[in-house]
Amino acid sequence: MPNNPSSGRVARIVGVRESLVLIEVDEDTPIVKNEMGHICVGDERLKAEVLRVRGRIADMQVFEDTRGVRVGDRVELSGEMLSATLGPGLLGQVFDGLLNPLHELAEKYGFFLPRGVTVPALDPDKKWAFTPVVETGRRVSPGGIIGTIPEGPFQHRIMIPFNEPEPVEITWIRGGTFPVDTPIARYRRRGDGKEIELTMTQRWPVRRPIPEPLMRRGFSERLYPERPLTTATRIIDTFFPIAQGGTACIPGPFGAGKTVLQSLIARYSDVDIVIIVACGERAGEVVETITEYPNTKDPRTGATLMDRTIIICNTSSMPVAAREASIYSGLCLGEYFRQMGYRTLMIADSTSRWAQAMREISGRMEEIPGEEGFPAYLDSAIKSVYERAGVIRGAHGEVGSLTMIGTVSPAGGNFEEPVTQATLGTVKTFLGLSADRAYKRFYPAIDPLISWSRYLDQLADWYREHLDPLWVEDVKRLQDLLRQGDDIYQIMQVTGEEGISLEDFVTWQKAVLVDMVYLQQDAFDPVDVYMPRERQLESFRLLKRIVDTQYDFADKETARECFVKLTALYKNWNYSPGESPEYQRYRQEIEDLVSRYALEAKAS
């Protein structure tokens, strides 16, 4: 399986600036932006990428340590962009930002990885059982499926290369068990009549969206997101939904629970495949993710969560150039599985480290800086990443989605910094984490007063059909209640409880109840950690009934006692399995307590 083979074109280094080198080519040697090359340092070949071309001089970012690189060293140009090898064997793997499998590297070279070493992303010796789904003589469009391979809980679909300009004719195909590099089919192009052998793999440039050529030629179609992503986290699914094929960001200060929240989303969301990109995070967090996922039971399949997960990790101690590339590598894999028709979720943690890598590289290239030293093209770079999410109908008619969630780590929790602001202008769901809520142990620490989602209105038709005709209106009413309750609380901070009326006190208690029993969720309780849509709907209707009820309290202390009891009963109800006797008992006790203090009951 070749990895960026040399095209026979060479250049020489004329300058070295940390991980950035300047190369010079002769007048007859073409060179293009984003082309890959290898810097030859003794027996080592360091992978690098062209960032900028100025006449015969080009800037290359080196993905590894540049110690020992000198002016005059030879550079071999590959003739292709930074590309990913796509095929069976990706699921369950842990890669670095350039898609080198880390377990394979560790087995061969130990835990301290030497530079200049590459390992094929897919095991060339492992055999896979290929079953054709088309016959000889069949015309298949680019991206069309010609066969399947069982891979874990999924059928890995082998497709015609995405860059073919028109439908091709299958001239030979066979089934059986083969390594990934063994030819399994041949097809003929209609234009030049050339026959091409097809293996189980194909390579694709990670910075180029896979659907781009397919949509341009009409072989794929981008669809409007029409259904929400169910995460089993109440505050997200109800108040700030994310669409399947949509975009979201989770900014928050350190210690606000980003890592736990993204782990819960990855584990319980109704998606087929999860891709985790640990971009520039601390090594301890990355190691925890790598060791936790293989030992975590998948609630959907009963096997381990790693069976349908791909992890791409670049810790903060790894070269910034590889960190910058890791986001694109993850997107390329996500688009590949989406093209098969699978629902894919990509979580990037964190895009702040990715942007900092861009800032560092931009500074070495002496580009004019923007705000806080970030490159002037930061906004367009962030938009180009999130725009690769979406819902796609492939050439075979099946619909797949790629949902992207990026966490942002603004320094000091300052949401006004450039990366957060550029992200907020791009995504459609903003889940802002609050240090104050995290300090109070209100988890997930999503602040309902600053967070928002444009999908609540966009998916209104789905909610009306599958949940409740008035779902969107009811959710917005509870959001207004939370804001009203906060306003009353701010007044109480100045005047005390004596400065507000009994009616306002009850309104504040209702807002606190919504926060305590619905917005907060116990990630360590086996029942409360996962709440499916059906139970969320039941809980929301009960909560709405409690909030809509008019109460007749003698004084504020009576109101407080009532809502404290309601909170305790409701939490116990959340912790009770749906089929247990306790579940029905706690619900009945809640309804009895509400009825006891209801205005209608007192009147009767």
Q: Binding site, residues? A: 252-259
8 Å CB contact between 53 and 37: no
Contact 385, 331 (CB under 8 A): yes
Residue with tokens 């142990």: 441
SS3 at position 198: strand
Show the tokens assigned to 208. 């180029």
* E strands in 160-211: 168-173, 176-179, 185-188, 195-198, 202-205
Which run of H or of E encompasses 44?
strand 44-54
Amino acid at 14: V
What residue has token string 């800032």? 359
Question: Do 322 and 314 meet the contact criterion of CB atoms below 8 Å apart?
Answer: yes
Tokens of 152: 């874990």
Query: How far is CA 243 from each of CA 18, 270, 415, 460, 483, rounded to the nearest angstrom?
Result: 42, 11, 23, 11, 25
What distances in angstroms separate CA 545 from CA 396, 473, 537, 538, one per listed residue? 47, 14, 12, 11
Helix (H, G, I), strand (E, B) or coil at 402: strand
> How does strand 94-95 pair with strand 309-315?
parallel
The structure tokens listed for 35 are 């082309």
Binding residues for ATP: 252-259
DSSP state of 529: T
Question: Could you tell me how many helices (H) and strands (E) the chain has, helices first?
Answer: 18, 28
Tell me which residue has tokens 């579940």. Answer: 583
Q: Are strands 273-281 and 343-349 parallel, antiparallel or unpaired?
A: parallel
Residue 340 host element (H or E): helix 320-340
- Three-state SS across 471-513? HHHHHHHHHHHHHHHHHHHHHHHHHCHHHCCHHHHHHHHHHHH
* Residue among 178, 48, 59 at smallest CA distance from 118: 48
Give exposure, 570-592, as e/b (b: 16+ Cβ within 10 Å). Answer: bbebbebeeeeeebeebbebbee
Instruction: Single out the residue of 544, 546, 551, 570 nearest to residue 473, CA to CA.
Output: 544
Contact 573, 590 (CB under 8 A): yes
Which class for 555: exposed (0-12), middle (13-18), buried (19 or more C-beta within 10 A)?
Answer: exposed
DSSP string for residues in 258-282: HHHHHHHHHHHSS-SEEEEEEEEE-
Q: What residues contact residue 369 under an 8 Å CB cut-off, 6+ apart?
A: 359, 362, 363, 375, 376
Dihedral, 558, 562, 563, 567 alpha carbons, nearest 10: 150
- Say if residue 481 is exposed, middle or buried (CB neighbours under 10 Å; 0-12, 13-18, 19+): middle
